Amino acid sequence: ESSVHIKSCFSIFQRYQIMSSEMLPVFIEPYKVERKQNLREDQEESQKPRLSEEFEPISKRQMKKLMKQKQWEEQRELRKQKRKEKRKRKQLERQCQLESNLDGNDRKRIRRDVVHSTLRLIIDCSFDSLMVLKDIKKLHKQIQRCYAENRRALHPVQFYLTSHGGQLKKNMDENDKGWVNWKDIHIKPEHYSEFVKKEDLIYLTSDSPNVLKELDESKAYVIGGLVDHNHHKGLTYKHASDHGIDHAQLPLGNFVKMNSRRVLAVNHVFEIILEYLERRDWQEAFFTILPQRKGAVPTDKTRESSLKDKTYARVEGILDSDSTDEEDSRNERDSPHEEEKHDIENSTESTLNAVPY
């Protein structure tokens, strides 16, 4: 019985195994297909760009930049054409200029007419330690102006920059590196007394009692490179006197009446000398260079105005005396005195007509 039972169980197991093997693909295949579909969908979703990444909000500024970039790309050929036209136009202008300059008015021809002066003009930079950085920068600008004016002048001088060093050299190295390539200038670290004879030197200072009448082109004129806003009055005069150097001041007082103190900037003195070498007239040189803020007036006009004031005062005195005489005559009026009154009025009219307005 047991064997029979075992056989029956084995047969049942086989039958179940056969049934399960037949039924299993039916259940497995749909599962695999569904799983593949899910994986494919996941891959497609991962490959799709996210809306947040692709379509980020763009600001107005970015939009303008994109528009400009687009316009720049579109107008590339137009820009090339404009550049070609500009080059052609410049070539035509140069040709026309060359043709029009045949009469000798061009700048190069003017430069050929330059006559170099033998006069030596020195800017003494030995006062470096007496100035703050702000004043050093001002002095640097004044020296630049002197260099430019000397290069443009019809009678350029022998330009020297002495005792060059310290704060001034440092400022020039930082802000004007091209100074090492300057032409027609002698920049020396030594003091001017080391290479110029003392008898050839004349120190220009407004405190000197000596007035300069003419420029001697065999001499060397020294300008104190000092921007001090009158903190060191008389320093250059004392410096020249202590070293036994001849000194003088420009004849400013002979030709110009000024509202302020007769102290000029370094570049103004330099430019006045250049202008005098060209015109040989101190008054024209002063009024060409001096700035309007100085309130410069010719001394002739000031004398004329003072004379006018005196004549006006005299006329007023005459009129006052005439008016008192008329009042007295009114108090003692008689018919015979009418003629005397007319004579007095005629005399005042004649004096008024004689005043030079």
Instruction: Write down the residue that tokens 């030709």 correspond to.
Output: 255
Angle at 264 between CA 262 and CA 265, to 5 degrees: 160
Instruction: Write down the residue that tokens 């004329």 correspond to.
Output: 304
Query: Which residues, at least 6 apart from 283, have a Cβ–Cβ distance to it below 8 Å?
Result: 255, 256, 298
| Cβ-based neighbour number of residue 225 at 10 Å | 26
Report the alpha-carbon distance of residue 332 to residue 326 in Å, rounded.
10
Buried b (16+ CB within 10 A) or exposed e, 89-104: eeeeeeeeeeeeeeee
What's CA 136's distance to the chain center, in Å? Answer: 16
- Residue 324: burial class (beta carbons within 10 Å; 0-12, 13-18, 19+): exposed
Closest listed residue to residue 128, CA positions, set 118, 119, 120, 139: 139
Decide if 242 is catalytic.
Answer: no
Report the alpha-carbon distance of residue 329 to residue 337 in Å, rounded.
8
Contact yes or no for 118/220 (Cβ under 8 A): no
Phi, psi of 204 (to 5 degrees): -85, 115
The amino acid occupying position 99 is E
What is the Rg, in whole angstroms, of the alpha carbon atoms belonging to the chain? 49
Catalytic residue among 228, 242, 281, 343: 228
Q: Are strands 220-224 and 120-124 parallel, antiparallel or unpaired?
A: parallel
Which positions are catalytic? Answer: 228
